[in-house]
Amino acid sequence: MTQPLYTLDAVLTATGGRADGIKADAIRSISIDSREIGPDALFVAIKGDRFDGHDFVETALANGAAAALVSRGTGAGRITVPDALEGLVDLARAARARSRALIVGVTGSVGKTTTKEALRIVFEASGETHASIKSFNNHWGVPLMLARMPETAQFGVFEMGMNAPNEIRPLSQLVRPHIGIITTIAPAHLEKLGSIEAIARAKAEIFEGIEPGGTAVINADHPQIDLLLELARTAGINVVTFGFARGTDWQILDAETAGDRSFATVLNGDVSHALTIGVAGRHMLSNATAALAVASLVGVAPEIALRALAGFGPQPGRGQRIHLGSKDKPLLLIDESYNANTASMTAALDVFGSVSAPDGKKVVVLGDMLELGEAGPALHAGLADTVRSSGADQVYLVGANMARLAEALPKTLFSRHFTSVEQAMPELLAALAYGDAVMVKGSNGVGLSRLVAAIKDKFEQR
């Protein structure tokens, strides 16, 4: 049997908790979801925006949890601490303290999860790797992922997100990465941050947790690069740059996209590397180049990293291409439903411009880009030229802010504007046919993933 994640004594030492009637000595996994309890799991009863884990402690114990970390309630199977979330942070801190892994932290306005996944497959080709799942990148997601890191891991990759200032800093100081990546800076979360410069400064908080002698790997393809370089120098850390810009340490040249794959030459000093990835888009080549640069920093041979990246494909909700129906005349669904800001929207529409639908029409479904504050309406309207150049035959828009884009588009192109996914779904499903190519893109909160599921359900042949 594999080594347990923690002993009960280790959990009690890390959290200062008080145990009540716990029979198991080994903790093999940690969960905050009572429905996903594995054998000998520790259930952590954190309080979220919609649910309080304390309401599900009995369910978790009945489902096989070895113990529950709680801050209220009594009964067998509980480890009581003053605050369950802080108890989880204490476990994360203990996991980091005992680890000898090479740790990488990833942040940025766009491409965090994709870059994290690219790093994961590169590191997995070289040794035992632990990486964040999904987009668990906030004040509870990061400590949960860190607390789950096995002592035997050789590499750890952790995604860090934020909606406001002073949110990346504590996450980075908890993770203490040896390498910190900033994928790019773009207008996202303007509602709470107010300006692009403020976004850059918030992302640069990752520098404050990087271990002494560590390195920041920074995308240079944005106007805030000089600010980031200055902040990195102030923090006293090494810097490696990547991107399409001239003079970067890892420069992307001759980028091409063909079907579902992208190709480029990546120049590092006098050495060039032929990079191939199984996903379309210049932005995806940028994410993969960040992973290639990190691999070089930690001593992973270039041929190993390049071979791993050649098998790298799109993640669900982030450019995944799904062919529904027969091979002769499928409906091509491009799922970009997980997130959206102006940078990712522009990148996705550019990629869609290279897609053809010889047996049907090209359809774009765009949902609101959320958390843009007062700049939101203008930023939505500003997408008009990119939408026009995408080659779309029909455009469907969902959400209040998309009304501004509807006004900016020519009437010959614009199809319909809807206030919600539920309002849009019947007409959209009726408008699609086999042979069409449809891209669905919007912020997660708009709920376009429900439309993606409905398209799959209607057009997938069983």
Q: Binding site for ATP: which residues?
A: 108-114
Structure tokens that stand for 28 in this block: 């093999």
Residue 313 burial (10 A CB sphere; 0-12, 13-18, 19+): middle
From CA 419, how far away is CA 287, in angstroms rounded? 33
Q: Which residues participate in the annotated binding site?
A: 108-114
Q: What is the dihedral of CA 417, 421, 422, 425, to 10 degrees?
A: 70
Task: For residue 56, give Cα distances in angstroms to 7, 34, 69, 381.
Answer: 23, 6, 12, 45
- Residue 279 and residue 291 in contact, taking contact as beta carbons nearer than 8 Å: no
